[in-house]
Structure formats: C-alpha cells, structure tokens
Amino acid sequence: MENNTHAVGQLQGYLLQVRHMLFELISLDDITVSVESLDDVAIQSEDGSICAEQIKSVTSSNNPIADRSVVFWKTLYNWHDYITNGSLSLDKTIFKMIVVANKEIASGTVAESFSNSIDEATAREVFQAARKTLWGEKEELKSDVPESYSKYLEKLFAPENAPAVINIIRKMSVEVHENDYDDKLRAKFNRIPALISEFSDALLIFMLGWVNEKVNEQGQQGQAALIKSSEFNTALQAQMRMYNQRDAIPALSQAIDDSAVRIEVNQQDVYIQQLDLIESDFDSKLEAASEYLRTSAEKTMRAEKGLFTPQSLNEYTEAMKQLWNNKRRLVELANTDTDVTKGKRLYLSLRESAINQKLQGNEVPIFFGTGTLQTLANAPKNDPSIGWHSQYKELLKTGGGQNE
C-alpha cells in the first residue's frame, strides 16, 4: 500500500474547493458540480434540485460554527441573498455548510439546533431562540453585537425576512470534518466500482489534477466552472483502462520539485561528479538528478504493489550494464575523439537506448531507464558500475569529478 501520509500531502496541494468538487463528483447519479457559480460548490441534479454548499476551512482558533461566529452568520446571510436575488429557488434548494478543520471544534447551540431542525415548526422555534440569544428578549443585547456581524443579523432577524430565513434553516445542515476530510475523500474514491485498488492513490491524484485543470480552463475563458459527473467518469474510466494494461503502466510517482532537484545536484553525488568529468552543463545535471530521484521513488512504489520482482529488477540493471559495455566498446573505436567527447557520445547514446529497455517484459515510464543509468553511475560509491569518461574510476578517486 502507498504511504498514506504522502498521498494526503499531495491532496492538500489542491484548493479545498477543488477537492470537494471531486468529492461530490464521485456519484452514480447524473449531476453537475460547479465551483464559485451558484455557491462555493453546488450540485445540480437532473430534476432541477440543487445542493448549495459553503465550504469553510479551519486552521486557526476561528470556529465557524460558534454561536457568535462572523463566518456562520455571513453564510446564512449569503444564502438569504441568493434566494432574494433569484440565484437560487427556495423550493428546489437545500443548503450545506461544510466545515473542514485540522483540529476538534465544538459546535455552538445555534448551529447545532439549526442543523437538526426537521420541519418548519422546529426551524421557527430555533430561529426565535437564536434571536433571543443574540439580541435578547427585548433586543436589550442588540447594541452589544459587534459590527463584524451585526449587519448580517439585521437582515436575517428582520420580521419581513423571517419566513425565508426559517425555510433556509429548515433545509440546511452543518457537516463537520475534524482532521479526517482527506481520509474520507480517499475512502469514498476507493469505493468507486471496479477501481484498481493498488493504483487508487495515483488515480485519485490524477483526477484531482484533471478537475483542477478543468476549473482553471473554464475560468480563463470567463465561463462558470461546471463539470458533469458523466464527464468525470469518462475521464476516470480512460485512466483505469490505461492502468489495466499491465504491459504499459503509467508512472506512479510524481514529478520531483525543482528545489529538491537543485539540492540534489548541489550535493555532488557520484553520478553528478561523473557528468562533471564529461563537462556536462547544469541543465543536464538537473535532468539527471530529476531522473535519479523519481526513478528511486518509482521503484519503491512499484515494488510495494508487487509490479515487479527483485529478480526482474536485477535482470533489468544487468541488461543496462551490458548495454553500457557494448556502447562503450563502440565508442572506443572512434579513437580520434577526446575522452570527454567520447564520454558525451556514450552518455547520449545510452540515454537514447535506455528509454526502450523493458522491465519484466513491460514498458516503463520514459524517465525510468535514464534514471537507472544514473543509479548505476552512482554505486558503489567507491567503484561505480558504469561511467561515461573512459578513465572515470581513476578520476573519481583523485577528485577529478568535483567541481571547484
């Protein structure tokens, strides 16, 4: 199984609204999910009904479901606005406040009672109780309400608005996720029928990226960000078919961050020193470091999923060594070149051939072959298996591969 902490960390790289959009798109029903259109997130069904969701993230001492929370009262104010301006129909809309917290939070009496109201009579009762709590029996507390949310209460508690507000309360719910939202997202995704379990995290990260890209594309075109569940499922099925082709499984690892690649180059490991011996430029070193790091991660992930055996990996590396040896001999025949030029020729020729090497009879991601070359050029540290300069072993021992 993949490292859950790593997977959750990747999820958190996406905006909460995008993650929740995907959460709602995981549906057997034909729905359309939007972001920042009807609400933070909204789910539209074929029958015209809508679930309008306000998404609140809690990462500090702020509690959006406390009785006197500015966020809570602004949420109700927004919903009332959507109804009165015609953006939403009270008859066809239900309302949800989704709270995602990185800690435990206590719900206030008002939020809890609003969420638990089951009919108009109950909603009216809790509405009046909330008004009494915040304004007092005879509005004697009204002047004490901070300006930050007094304007919301003025609108919501106004007698002429009471019928609409009471009906919003009747149709609203509060959903709290304490330190477990991304775990719930992964669990829901993993319940998709016919999902290939060993690739679930890779598929989830891909689909998050797909949703994010769709949202950005539509936003750049000045369009509302809308995705149909059928469109989502089509894209997911295409990915699942690709992972089902065991002879050509896509990369499971993610591209290495640029800063991590630069740190790796600056550490001057042996394979980087080997590139110095043939006077490679800095971009070539960055490319090599990225391949080396990602191949290491890819090997670990594939081994954990049982996608190859230790024997097959050994056979793969031995084949790479043999390929290097054959190429080295051919390059040596061009004895008019300098050692540096020969090394460059050998390196580039091997990179081209390594792309086509198969592991256990299966194709591997394009970076895997060249990353394996970097691995072989890096170990053992005192006697690397392969190298590019014809005198690489002697030069490495005398420090010839270290950049001054």
- Quick one: pLDDT at residue 157? 97
ω into residue 380 within 30 of 0, thus cis? Answer: yes
- Quick one: pLDDT at residue 223? 86
Q: Per DSSP, what are the bridge partners of residue 22?
A: none
Rg (CA), the chain: 30
Residue 226: C-alpha distances to residues 31, 315, 357 (Å) = 10, 49, 42
Is residue 210 within 8 A of residue 202, CB to CB? The reply is no
Average pLDDT, the chain: 91
pLDDT one-digit tens code per residue, 361-400: 888 999 999 999 999 999 999 899 999 999 999 999 987 6
Is residue 164 within 8 A of residue 124, CB to CB? The reply is no
Torsion angle, alpha carbons of 237, 243, 247, 249, to 10: 130
Residue 304: C-alpha distances to residues 3, 186, 250 (Å) = 10, 19, 16
Q: Tokens in use for 203?
A: 């598929």
Q: Within 13 Å of residue 186, how many CA atoms lie on the same side as its CB?
A: 22
- Quick one: pLDDT at residue 402? 61
- Looking at the predicted structure, is the pLDDT value of residue 199 above 90? no
Q: What is the mean pLDDT of residues 224-237?
A: 92
Q: How confident is the model at residue 197 (pLDDT cuts 50, 70, 90)?
A: confident
- Quick one: pLDDT at residue 287? 98
- Looking at the predicted structure, is the pLDDT value of residue 1 above 80? no
- Quick one: pLDDT at residue 247? 62
Is residue 401 within 8 A of residue 350, CB to CB? The reply is no
Q: What is the mean pLDDT of residues 82-101?
A: 96
- Quick one: pLDDT at residue 135? 96
- Looking at the predicted structure, is the pLDDT value of residue 173 above 70? yes
- Quick one: pLDDT at residue 91? 94
Q: How confident is the model at residue 246 (pLDDT cuts 50, 70, 90)?
A: low
Q: How confident is the model at residue 43 (pLDDT cuts 50, 70, 90)?
A: very high
- Quick one: pLDDT at residue 7? 45
Highest mean predicted confidence (pLDDT) among 11-20, 52-61, 188-197, 267-276: 267-276
- Quick one: pLDDT at residue 194? 85
**Ranges 26-35, 95-104, 236-245: which has the least confidence:** 236-245
- Could you please report the per-residue DSSP string of 16-48? HHHHHHHHHH--SS-EEEEESSSSSEEEEETTS
pLDDT one-digit tens code per residue, 105-136: 999 999 999 999 989 999 999 999 999 999 99
Is residue 316 within 8 A of residue 357, CB to CB? The reply is yes
Closest to 157 measured CA to CA, from 171, 173, 169: 169
Is residue 287 within 8 A of residue 281, CB to CB? The reply is no
- Quick one: pLDDT at residue 114? 97
pTM: 0.67
Could you tell me what percent of the chain has a pLDDT over 70? 94
Phi and psi for 82 in degrees, rounded to 5?
-60, -35
**Ranges 212-216, 233-237, 301-305, 343-347: which has the least confidence:** 301-305
d(CA 235, CA 67) in angstroms, rounded, equals 43
- Quick one: pLDDT at residue 336? 73
The Cα diameter of the chain in Å comes to 101
Q: What is the mean pLDDT of residues 59-69?
A: 90
- Looking at the predicted structure, is the pLDDT value of residue 241 above 80? no
Q: Is 306 left (phi over 0), alpha (psi -120 to 50) or beta?
A: left
Phi and psi for 136 in degrees, rounded to 5?
90, 165
Q: How confident is the model at residue 345 (pLDDT cuts 50, 70, 90)?
A: very high
Is residue 58 within 8 A of residue 102, CB to CB? The reply is yes
Interior/surface letters 8-29, b for 16+ CB within 10 angstroms, e for the rest: eebbeebebbbbbbbbbbbbee
Residue 44: C-alpha distances to residues 32, 222, 226, 247, 325 (Å) = 5, 20, 10, 40, 62
Q: Which residues contact 29 (CB under 8 A, 6 or more apart)?
A: 45, 46, 229
- Quick one: pLDDT at residue 400? 65
d(CA 227, CA 258) in angstroms, rounded, equals 31
- Quick one: pLDDT at residue 404? 42
Q: How confident is the model at residue 3 (pLDDT cuts 50, 70, 90)?
A: very low
